[in-house]
Amino acid sequence: MNRRSKTIAVINYGAGNLGSVANALSKLGYRPVVTGSVSEVLNAHAVFLPGVGAGGDTMQSLEASGMAAAVLKLVELQRPLFAICVGMQVLLSSTEEDGEHKCLGIIPGKVRKLPQGLKVPHMGWNQVRQIISHPVFSGIPDNTDFYFVHSYYAHPGDSSAVAGVTEYGIEFCSMLIKDNLFATQFHPEKSGEPGLRMYSNFLKYALS
């Protein structure tokens, strides 16, 4: 089966930058399905979990739509999954955004507020230092700029899944990889050619 004819689902849970992620995947020659259907998500060959907005609200929408359980199932099945921005944050155990909210707990650790004293949101292009070697970085030089817009960041309890870090007042984890689970705090779909390259690398890796 041709890689580009495989099913790619972009999870629609009533929030997030669904169009942008789908546009980027279409540009790469794939035909993503933006879907709110749990069964469609569970049957896809690869899944994207976008996110924009607040972590607590996002968790609530994921729970209400049944997608929280679906994401946990995808991880259990080792299905290729790419989570973006708040989509990354909800993978952790909890977030301190707007009070304390429990998250999916796939990656142990907390989501914390960026330190005071700098402009928040952290908005714009910043470098991602690659701290592991992985095919997803193929053709993307170390310290390439990616586009960020967030006020909270993931702080994993153990560093084994940390694939990339970025400096903004502190050094924080801007990319996680654990088996077939990929997550970025930045928005590859808004990061120009290197961002498209990262999605392309992910799909090549995940669907081969």
Q: Which residues are annotated as catalytic? A: 85, 187, 189
Is the alpha carbon torsion for 61, 92, 10, 25 positive or negative?
positive
Q: In whole angstroms, what is the distance from residue 122 CA to residue 149 CA?
A: 5
17 binds other proteins (CB under 8 A): yes
194 binds other proteins (CB under 8 A): yes
Instruction: Pick between residue 198 and residue 206 the one whose CB is nearest to other proteins.
Output: 198
184 binds other proteins (CB under 8 A): no
How many residues of this chain interact with other proteins, rule: CB under 8 A? 36
Largest CA distance in the chain: 52
Among 29, 124, 139, 157, binds other proteins (CB under 8 A): 124
Per-residue interface string for the shown chain with other proteins, residues 141-170, x marking contact by CB under 8 A: ---xx-xxxxx---------------xx--
54 binds other proteins (CB under 8 A): yes
Residue found by looking up tokens 């669904």 in the block: 18
Question: Least separation, in Å, of the C-beta of 138 and other proteins?
Answer: 16
196 binds other proteins (CB under 8 A): yes
Residue 76 CB partners (closer than 8 Å, separation 6+):
none
Question: Least separation, in Å, of the C-beta of 161 and other proteins?
Answer: 24
Do 173 and 91 meet the contact criterion of CB atoms below 8 Å apart? no
Tell me, rounded to whole angstroms, the distance of Cα 8 from its chain centroid. 15
Residues interacting with other proteins, by CB under 8 A? Answer: 17, 19-20, 23-24, 26-27, 52-54, 119-127, 144-145, 147-151, 167-168, 189-196
